[in-house]
Amino acid sequence: MKKKEIYALIVLVCIALVMLVVLNKNRLFSSNSSTQEIPTEEAKGDWIAVGHRGHVILYFDSGIDAKHTVEGLVGKMEIEVKNKEWHISYVDCPNHTCEKMGWMNIDSWGVPITCLPNDIIIVPKTMADTMELLP
């Protein structure tokens, strides 16, 4: 590889890291777009937000083992919470990509569980609070 190309790669990595920081400092869901009460009490684990069409439709506590069902554009989505981790156990969607994303926890790099056909995104509340990409 040429020297110029190595510099270009370094610039690319820097751009990615800056984007990571900037995107994590902005807000994903605006504070008044929530159709759910923003939880004020302390969570046993962490508060996780389920977003649908720019609105938070559910907050769940990752410290409480449970199954939550939400409705997306295509159909039902079931979120299973166990041992401070969460995953999609069932979804009415042709792709099942979100099911394949597997178990996530608070340390999963901030990668959101997403289902495009259902227009659903699941992120930790801290991330949802600090990102503003949706109106």
Partner 1 sequence: MNIKKNKQFTYLALLSAMAITLNLLETAMIPPLMGVFRVGLANIIALLALKILGMKEMIIVNLMRVLIGNLISGRFLGSSFWISLAGVCLSTLVLILMEKMQSSLLFTSIASSVAHSIGQVLVVMFFYQQPWMLSFLPYFLLVSIPTGLLTGYVSSIAIRRVKPLRIG
- The nearer residue to partner 1, 11 or 64, going by C-beta atoms, is 11
Count CB-CB contacts under 10 A for residue 58. Answer: 18
Least CB distance to partner 1 at residue 45 (A): 20
Nearest to 75 by CA among 87, 91, 90, 89: 91
Please, which of residues 104-123 interact with partner 1 by CB under 8 A?
108-112, 114, 116-117, 119, 121
Please, which of residues 41-100 interact with partner 1 by CB under 8 A?
51, 94-95, 97-100
- The nearer residue to partner 1, 44 or 71, going by C-beta atoms, is 71
Please, which of residues 16-45 interact with partner 1 by CB under 8 A?
16-17, 19-20, 23, 28
Instruction: Give the span between the Cα atoms of 62 and 84, in whole angstroms.
Output: 5
**Are 29 and 134 contacting, i.e. CB atoms less than 8 angstroms apart?**
yes
Instruction: Give the span between the Cα atoms of 37 and 20, in whole angstroms.
Output: 28
List the Cα angle 74/76/82 in 5-degree steps: 135
Q: Which residues bind partner 1 (CB under 8 A)?
A: 1-2, 5, 8-9, 12-13, 15-17, 19-20, 23, 28, 51, 94-95, 97-102, 108-112, 114, 116-117, 119, 121, 131, 133-134
